[in-house]
Amino acid sequence: MDISGEQHLDIRHDIIKKRINDHGNVIEARQEGIGAPKIEKPLQRHGGRLEHNETYCGSCFGAEGSDDDCCNSCEDVREAYRKKGWALSNPDLIDQCKREGFLQRIKDEDGEGCNIYGFLEVNKVAGNFHFAPGKSFHQSGVHVHDLLAFQKDSFNVSHKINRLAFGQYFPGVVNPLDGVQWTQETPSGMYQYFIKVVPTVYTDISGHTIQSNQFSVTEHFRSAEAGQLQSLPGVFFFYDLSPIKVTFTEGHVSFLHFLTNVCAIVGGVFTVSGILDSFIYHGQRAIKKKMEIGKFS
């Protein structure tokens, strides 16, 4: 989301998300509904149970937008509740969520982490992107994440950034967040990176130009009080663009400039050698003279 008002929720294109265990190994994807209690006749929208010759149209439990709306999955019910601005406090009371084993799936995933990689295209204005638990949506003009489904009051946002770049790599670039790792000690909180992006143009010796960016960063952690999620748990990257552009141009050194440098180096070596030679010569003469004076006395 950025200051122009553009927002993208639950991004999936060009972003790969993988479940990992506490050792960092990728967990194989599980088929939906495995291990869930089997319900022979799901609840229909009109309140009855599904019969053999009927088409399934699940109930939205009062959150239908119209008489023709159906909620055939737990996610459909949650989405209908979000549109109404209602809280789904106990998903296990919802027929679709119970059938899919929603709460059990959340419990099974406790202690897991995730590996996220890919790229985003953003506008050249100040904004932020973040990784946070829960389905995100807008409610009364406010960006909200649904955390009720997790049935917990603390989230661990420990993380490691393998690589973060605003644009292509070019020779000599240093991205300060590459390889950064942070471990959370408190029960919950929000970790924030404030990034200043500097547009950079790099031109190599052959004239090929790379339009990229460098950035500097400051970090801040907002801790939540025990049992109270006053701030959304997650990792936030707030970025702003600098009005200054940096240009790097690669070029050859002229032969005359090279010759001048060689002469300067040779002259410097000759001068230093002369100073050392003079110091050693006069030192030896002084010592020899004192020794001679000592013999005559």
The H or E element spanning position 278 is helix 255-296
- The conformation of residue 38, written as its DSSP 8-state character, comes to P
How far, in Å, are 44, 137, 250, 263, 279 from residue 268 at the CA level?
93, 69, 28, 8, 17
Given a cut of 80, whether residue 38 has pLDDT beyond it is no
- The pLDDT score that the predictor gives to residue 94 is 82
The H or E element spanning position 17 is strand 15-20
End-to-end CA distance of the chain: 94
Given a cut of 50, whether residue 73 has pLDDT beyond it is yes
In tens, the pLDDT along 121-136 reads 889 999 999 988 877 7
Beta carbons of 95 and 42 less than 8 angstroms apart: yes
- The pLDDT score that the predictor gives to residue 101 is 80
Least-confidence region, from 43-52, 108-117, 215-224: 43-52
Q: Sign of torsion, CA 251 256 258 264?
A: negative
Cα dihedral value 177, 182, 186, 189, nearest 10: 30
User: What is the spatial distance between Cα 279 and Cα 57, in angstroms, rounded to a whole number?
Assistant: 101
Given a cut of 70, whether residue 98 has pLDDT beyond it is yes
Percent of the chain residues topping a pLDDT of 70: 81
Average pLDDT for 12-19: 85
Length of the chain: 297
Instruction: With CA atoms as reference, report the closest residue to 236 among 114, 82, 130.
Output: 130
Given a cut of 50, whether residue 36 has pLDDT beyond it is no
- The pLDDT score that the predictor gives to residue 150 is 65
User: What is the spatial distance between Cα 22 and Cα 196, in angstroms, rounded to a whole number?
Assistant: 33
- The pLDDT score that the predictor gives to residue 181 is 93
Average pLDDT for 110-126: 88
pLDDT band, residue 280 (cuts 50/70/90): very high
User: What is the spatial distance between Cα 261 and Cα 88, in angstroms, rounded to a whole number?
Assistant: 75
Percent of the chain residues topping a pLDDT of 90: 30
Instruction: With CA atoms as reference, report the closest residue to 156 among 193, 108, 115, 190.
Output: 190
By three-state DSSP, how is residue 77 classified?
helix
Give me the residue label for tokens 């002469």: 263
Highest average pLDDT, of 22-31, 184-193, 195-204, comes from 195-204
Given a cut of 90, whether residue 60 has pLDDT beyond it is no
Q: What would the two tokens of residue 38 be?
A: 């089997």
pLDDT band, residue 78 (cuts 50/70/90): confident
Contacts of 116 (CB under 8 A, 6+ apart): 15, 16, 17, 18, 131
Beta carbons of 134 and 236 less than 8 angstroms apart: no
User: What is the spatial distance between Cα 117 and Cα 159, in angstroms, rounded to a whole number?
Assistant: 13
Residue 233, Cβ density class (10 Å: 0-12 exposed, 13-18 middle, ≥19 buried): buried
Average pLDDT for 85-111: 78
- The pLDDT score that the predictor gives to residue 178 is 94
Number of H helices, E strands in the chain: 4, 11
pLDDT band, residue 294 (cuts 50/70/90): confident
- The pLDDT score that the predictor gives to residue 49 is 59
Beta carbons of 124 and 211 less than 8 angstroms apart: no
Instruction: With CA atoms as reference, report the closest residue to 213 among 168, 263, 163, 158.
Output: 168
